[in-house]
């Protein structure tokens, strides 16, 4: 049976390159993985005052969906050399209530996707700092900093073969990582 992976995309933009890459990964993932993109754009900014016994419905929906998954895959742009607020907010929502984090022990991987030359390295590593604390075993290799993403798509929306081949290597390695740990 395939393992279900929660995919969190760090851009809410309709034409997001990160979303495009996430969708390609969904298509090319080995059959041992089923990638499920989980909505994070509707989560109110984390505030302990609203996280009561009756939290916002979106908090409950998000926590339930992630808890039911076997692993987590972050596909994220870099905003100002760090991780976009929507991803950090989703991490914070999933980490509470205290003692009931949905993240612990889930095999994780990160791919940063950027129009810039350094492929979102800053976001990729800023994110790793939170994952250490949340006890998420995170794949180390291959590192995935996908730079110059706009130029990697042609006018018909096809991704360059070289980039697609790297995406395949990445998702195959992640499948191995999940199979070892989940
Ligand atoms: C607020 C903001 C900050 C950004 N900061 C960076 C940055 O630090 N490094 C970078 O490579 N690109 C940066 N960008 C450009 C993004 O890489 C680019 O907009 C990318 O396409 C966003 O991903 P998306 O296509 O999935 O929305 C920034 C974009 C925005 C909107």
DSSP letters spanning 145-163: EE-SHHHHB-TT-PBPHHH
> Ligand 1 pocket check: which of 15, 77, 147 to mutate, most ligand atoms within 8 Å of Cβ?
77
Going from the Cα of 2 to the center of ligand 1, the distance in angstroms, rounded, reads 33
Task: Please report where in the chains the tokens 């995406």 appear, as a residue.
Answer: 167
Report the DSSP beta bridge partners of residue 111. Answer: 75
Q: What's the sign of the alpha-carbon dihedral 59, 171, 124, 118? A: negative
Tens digit of pLDDT at every position of the chain (182 positions): 899 999 999 999 999 999 999 999 999 999 999 999 999 999 999 999 999 999 999 999 999 999 999 999 999 999 999 999 999 999 999 999 999 999 999 999 999 999 999 999 999 999 999 999 999 999 999 999 999 999 999 999 999 999 999 999 999 999 999 999 98
CB under 6 Å to ligand 1: residues? 11, 13, 16-18, 77-81, 114-116, 120
38-43: long-range contacts (C-beta < 8 A, 24 or more apart)? 38/6, 38/7, 38/8, 38/62, 38/65, 38/66, 38/69, 40/8, 40/9, 40/86, 40/87, 40/89, 40/90, 41/12, 41/86, 43/86, 43/89, 43/90, 43/93
């Amino acid at each position: 049976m395939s393992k279900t992976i929660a995919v969190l995309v760090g851009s809410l933009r309709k034409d997001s390159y990160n979303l495009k890459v996430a969708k390609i990964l969904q298509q090319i993932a080995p059959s041992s993985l089923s990638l499920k993109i989980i909505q994070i754009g509707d989560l109110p900014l984390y505030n302990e005052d609203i996280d009561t016994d009756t939290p916002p419905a979106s908090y409950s929906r998000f926590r339930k969906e992630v808890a039911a998954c076997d692993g987590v895959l972050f596909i994220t742009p870099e905003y100002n050399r760090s991780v976009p607020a929507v991803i950090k907010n989703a991490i914070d929502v999933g980490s509470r209530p205290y003692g009931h984090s949905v993240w612990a022990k889930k095999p994780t991987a990160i791919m940063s996707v950027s129009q810039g030359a350094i492929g979102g390295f800053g976001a990729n590593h800023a994110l790793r700092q939170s994952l250490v604390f949340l006890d998420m075993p995170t794949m180390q290799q291959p590192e995935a900093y996908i730079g110059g993403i706009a130029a990697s798509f042609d006018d018909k929306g096809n991704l360059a073969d070289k980039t697609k081949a790297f995406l395949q290597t990445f998702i195959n390695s992640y499948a191995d990582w999940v199979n070892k740990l989940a």
